Copies of this chain bind each other. A is one copy, B any other.
Amino acid sequence: MTTPSRIRCPKLSKRVMSADEAATLIPSGVNVGMSGFTGAGYPKAVPVALADHIRRQRADGENYRVSVWTGASTAPELDGALAEVDGIEMRLPYQSDPVCRQKINDGQMSYMDIHLSHVAQHVWSGFFGKLDIAVIEVAGITEDGRLIPSSSIGNNKTWIDQADRVILEVNYGQSAGLEGMHDVYYGTALPPRRKPIPITHPDERFGEKYLLCPPEKVIAVVETDAPDRNSKFADPDDNSRRIADHLLKFFQQEVEQKRLPKNLLPLQSGVGNIANAVMAGLNEGPFDNLSAYTEVLQDGMLAMLKSGKLATASATAFSLSPEANQDLADNIEFYKDRIVLRTQEISNHPEVIRRLGVIAMNGMIEADIYGNVNSTHVMGTRIMNGIGGSGDFARNGYLSVFMTPSTARNGAISTIVPMVSHVDHTEHDVQIVVTEQGLADLRGLPPRRRALEIIEKCAHPDFRPRLKDYFERACASGRGMHTPHLLEEALSWHCHFEQNGQM
């Protein structure tokens, strides 16, 4: 371990032990709240040690499993390792790990896919049962035992508050300069005692810089020195760039029409290549003095902070490439003036998103001709990742944008379909749909006009005639003309794909 010690609190430095020792403190059958959000700030050592422990116990014939609650997605060292040994009874509220996903879709693991803004309050209310143990990565511990949060906050405040026992991982690999970047709000409450969340601009601070944890709850402190997942996203491809172009043109039009201020409104951006392409586009675009109120800061937002295009950014986590992560560490004071990391219940709070008027920009799996969006299920049955915060932002934002290339699997799949095979965002919550083909503006349009707009603007030309044909036959069917459908074949595109590998 590097010196000086990051465990400045004498009381807690006495609880230092190995990850293997700490893992044995987690009994089978418990609910464990772990830190971690989009591959940042998750515990690196204890989950792996727990997986080993479970494997050994399993060999001895014990059916050892725990339920794992997090902020959002983590990494192979957590979700992957525990899923690999079938150690997870129930997983919530979001995951994106390949092994985890496979286990869920094979029926070997249970998964609850929840709005990220709902998680904390449902746990406070006892809806999911008692949280037994918290395993939280921190960047350090102060003299008086306060915890310096790591590269994400997520649900950590909630896990620490709710759990009887807390295991801390102090990660020396996290920048010591993170201290002071966070804003942990301790003013939340259960109804009927709730007060307004006191924020009117994305950069406002109204909480603590530290996580507070009674030292007597801490049953183990484990020292680590490993980087976050820090996966590099591919450079924007042509489709992503085209999607970004359509969206930027739309923003310009909205500013011209005075439906958006010149510096837009606080941006929320989902994770991935399209999101990064939109950020790259904005970084070269005509808008200045932008702000972000979002869940996750990716490379693109850091670049925009650096260029000055983005004045301020609020999130609950980073999700950076190794290069961007290095840049963050090298320029931590610069970024600390411009970034606030908050608890997940505040970064995704409906009240705040609505008040700030966030522009919600999220990816999707597919949309149907009426603008219902599927964000989670492949062919209606297999979970991809989860809804994450997209529902928090889409429902409550000023504008709700959903984006995807118009085809997938080398053209075998149309992402615009007659009827989505699963609905995460209803027609009532989807205003703008963008593919590389174009942008459909659904505001003010009744269903049949939405269908024409989406087919015309967003569908791939290879699928457009069949979509039109479906729509026209549905209109001619003599069934209801509000939302015309041929229920017999509404999901047939998905069935074809399952049978023939081609929609």
A interface residues, Cβ below 8 angstroms from B: 90, 104-107, 110-115, 118, 121-122, 125-129, 190-192, 194-198, 200-201, 257-259, 261, 265-266, 349-351, 354-357, 372, 377-383, 387, 391, 395-396, 398, 421-429, 431, 443-446, 448-449, 474-475, 479-485, 487-488, 490-491, 494-495, 498
Chain B residues with CB below 8 A from A490, complex form: 380, 491
Indicate if the CB atoms of B446 and A112 lie closer than 8 Å: yes
| Identical chains bound together, number | 2
**Known A-B contacts A126-B257, A428-B424; A480 and B381 likewise in contact (beta carbons under 8 Å):** yes
Indicate if the CB atoms of B428 and A382 lie closer than 8 Å: no
> In the complex, A112 Cα to B430 Cα: how many Å?
13
Indicate if the CB atoms of B481 and A106 lie closer than 8 Å: yes
> In the complex, A408 Cα to B477 Cα: how many Å?
24
Indicate if the CB atoms of A190 and B483 lie closer than 8 Å: no
Chain B residues with CB below 8 A from A194, complex form: 200, 354-357
Residue among B378, B425, B488 making CB contact with A495, cutoff 8 Å:
B488
Indicate if the CB atoms of B259 and A126 lie closer than 8 Å: yes
Of A194, A355, A391, most B-chain CB atoms within 10 Å: A355
Chain B residues with CB below 8 A from A112, complex form: 444-446
Q: Could you list 5 A-B pairs, sorted by A, with CB under 8 Å?
A: A110-B448, A121-B398, A378-B480, A421-B487, A487-B498
Distance between A481 CB and nearest chain B CB, rounded to angstroms: 3
**Known A-B contacts A105-B481, A354-B350, A383-B480; A122 and B428 likewise in contact (beta carbons under 8 Å):** no
> In the complex, A118 Cα to B443 Cα: how many Å?
12
Distance between A487 CB and nearest chain B CB, rounded to angstroms: 4
> In the complex, A480 Cα to B379 Cα: how many Å?
9
Indicate if the CB atoms of A475 and B107 lie closer than 8 Å: yes
Chain B residues with CB below 8 A from A482, complex form: 104-105, 107, 111, 377, 381-383
Residue among B114, B259, B479, B495 making CB contact with A382, cutoff 8 Å:
B479
Indicate if the CB atoms of B483 and A191 lie closer than 8 Å: no
> In the complex, A110 Cα to B446 Cα: how many Å?
6
> In the complex, A485 Cα to B129 Cα: how many Å?
29
10 smallest CB-CB distances across A and B, nearest first, come from A191-B357, A382-B480, A381-B480, A107-B481, A196-B196, A423-B423, A351-B351, A110-B446, A383-B482, A127-B443
Distance between A491 CB and nearest chain B CB, rounded to angstroms: 4
Distance between A111 CB and nearest chain B CB, rounded to angstroms: 6
Residue among B355, B425, B487 making CB contact with A380, cutoff 8 Å:
B487
Indicate if the CB atoms of A104 and B481 lie closer than 8 Å: yes
> In the complex, A498 Cα to B396 Cα: how many Å?
36
11 extra interface residue pairs, beta carbon distance < 8 Å, beyond A194-B200, A351-B351, A424-B428: A113-B427, A121-B398, A128-B444, A194-B357, A195-B200, A195-B355, A196-B196, A380-B483, A381-B480, A421-B485, A487-B498
